[in-house]
Amino acid sequence: MEILEGSITAPAGFAAAGIHAGLKKAKKDMAAIVSACDAVTAATFTTNKVKAAPVIWDQGVLKGGMARAVIVNSGNANACTGEDGLRDAETTAGIAASLLGTEKGKVYVSSTGVIGVKLDMERIVSGVRTLCPLVSADGGHEAAEAICTTDTFTKEAAASVMIGNVKVTVGGMAKGSGMIHPNMATMLSYITTDAVISQETLQHLLGATVEDTFNMISVDGDTSTNDTCIVLANGMAGNAEILYGTKEYEEFSEAFRHVLGTLARMITRDGEGAGRFIEMKVSNALSKEDARKLARSVVSSSLVKAAFFGSDANWGRIMCAMGYSGADFDPSLVDLSFTSPAGTIEVVHSGDPVPFDEDEAKRILLEKEITVAADCHQGASSAVAWGCDLTYDYVRINGDYRS
């Protein structure tokens, strides 16, 4: 696998653009991703029962199996907007389709921003008409800028792999900083590839990869109404079709996992108001699902997050979070340690407290990136989850979000 400097337009046949359409005061607020030909598509969406209008529209696009483009607006989530919201999503897709020479059922639509406010369709329509003619292979970064809300930086990643003697590329971009929690925590993410692959195989790969990437991050415990991850595979690399269970599938999966995993970690690092990135590693659990539950529970705990904000080695909160995770494990066997660039310190061994130097622990936890390791000593399964601390700034950002 080769890690690339690139984004959503890294694979062959993809173009993108981002513009300011007037939905936000000054920053870019509309983006387009366009494939040169119809693309096989896979997607996953929010598990929230309150689904934004674009999510409902996109579920219909997914059923069609092929897609040509994605139109995204930031600044307004088009969620809890009733029948008007559904009509607005369809209208947006229809205008884009007419400009791109395709069917509206092949155009995904995404929105992110304030919930419960209807779209300014005059600006949306004008934005789509301006946006679509501007797409280019150089427009990936501008598109990534246009989908941001409270993000402090763009999230972009790309990688390539050889399938036989053919280079196949995967690119991606995402936005997310708040309302991030397991069970589709992506907010909005888009993945492109020029690979030849069937929808069934692509959907299987996406589902399996999301479980170990986007579903293993937590910023604040809130699952959005708009969470969406869309994949487009246009086949323009010309490789032999990637079949599930083959060596080629595993090779392609490596690049695919790299892109999604990189985006997931970027989202967590950019958690609203966050000062510290927390990696929770669980090893030797009884099952993969137990390991996932344990890791997710720790990074989702508000008390654990607050302890990291204070650089406090309050490991009891970590054990507590593991205990209510629903996972099957024996607390009396657990080893627990903290690691950062400043060193490693063990705080629990075989379930018993280990005397440690509080000053040394403080030095370790003052670093910006910290790993918590929990060895369960019961099985052979492992999992990693990513989170961040909970700070005063999180409350400030969300206290005046609409203003």
Among 38, 39, 40, 32, which Cα is nearest to 15's?
32
pLDDT confidence of residue 403: 40
Phi first, then psi: give them for residue 339, nearest 5 degrees: -135, 140
Q: Which two tokens stand for residue 27?
A: 């920053």
How far apart are the C-alpha atoms of 400 and 148, rounded to whole Å? 17
Strands 66-76 and 30-45: antiparallel
Q: What number of other Cβ atoms are within 10 A of residue 38's Cβ?
A: 17
Question: Structural domain boundaries of the chain?
Answer: 2-269, 277-399
Mean pLDDT by 10 residues, the chain (403 residues): 95 98 94 98 92 96 98 95 97 98 98 93 98 98 93 94 97 77 67 98 96 84 80 98 97 98 88 81 98 95 92 96 98 98 98 96 96 98 92 70 48
pTM of the model: 0.90
Distances (CA, A) of 64 to 13, 57, 94, 236: 21, 11, 16, 20
Secondary structure element (H or E) that encloses residue 112, with its range: strand 107-114
pLDDT at 58: 98
Catalytic residue chosen out of the listed positions 92, 186, 228, 262 = 186
d(CA 219, CA 376): 25
* CATH architecture of the domain formed by 2-269: 4-Layer Sandwich (3.60)
CATH number of the domain located at residue range(s) 277-399 in this protein: 3.10.20.340
Q: What residue spans of 333-381 are helical by DSSP H? A: 358-365
The burial of 402, by beta-carbon neighbours within 10 Å (0-12 exposed, 13-18 middle, 19 or more buried), is given as exposed
pLDDT for 313 equals 96
CA distance 288 to 117: 41
Q: Residue 249 has what pLDDT?
A: 98
Tell me how far apart the alpha carbons of residues 363 and 375 are, in angstroms, rounded to a whole number: 23
Strand, helix or coil for residue 310: coil
213: its two tokens: 């990437």
Query: Could you tell me which residues are beta bridge partners of residue 385?
Result: 280
Closest to 149 in 3D by CA, of 25, 15, 277, 300? 25
How far does CA 137 lie from the centroid of its chain? 23
State the number of CA atoms in the 13 A half-sphere of 257 facing the CB: 13
pLDDT score, position 400: 66
Q: Measured in whole angstroms, how far is the alpha carbon of residue 221 from the centre of its chain?
A: 14
Tokens of residue 2, six digits: 């080769």
Q: Kindly list the distances between the CA atom of residue 284 and the CA atoms of 333, 380, 381, 383, in Å, as whole numbers in the listed order.
A: 11, 4, 5, 9
State residue 185's pLDDT score. Answer: 47
CB 267 within 8 A of CB 176: yes
Is residue 92 part of the annotated active site? The answer reads no
Q: What's the order of all strands across the beta sheet hosting 343-349?
A: 217-218, 381-388, 277-285, 369-375, 335-340, 343-349, 352-353
Q: Taking the CA atoms of the chain, what radius of gyration do you get in angstroms?
A: 22
Q: φ, ψ for residue 259 (rounded to 5)? A: -65, -50
Helix, strand, coil shares, percent, the chain, to 5? 35, 30, 35
Q: Quick one: pLDDT at residue 222?
A: 59
Beta pairing partners, 349: 352
By the 8 A CB rule, do 128 and 95 touch?
A: yes
Contact, 226 vs 187, CB < 8 A?
Answer: yes
Residue in 118, 124, 106, 150 with CA at minimum distance from that of residue 19: 124
Identity at 87, one-letter amino acid code: R
Q: Locate 85 and state its tokens.
A: 């919201």
Backbone phi and psi for residue 104, each to the nearest 5 degrees, phi listed first: -65, -25
Q: Which two tokens stand for residue 47?
A: 């598990």
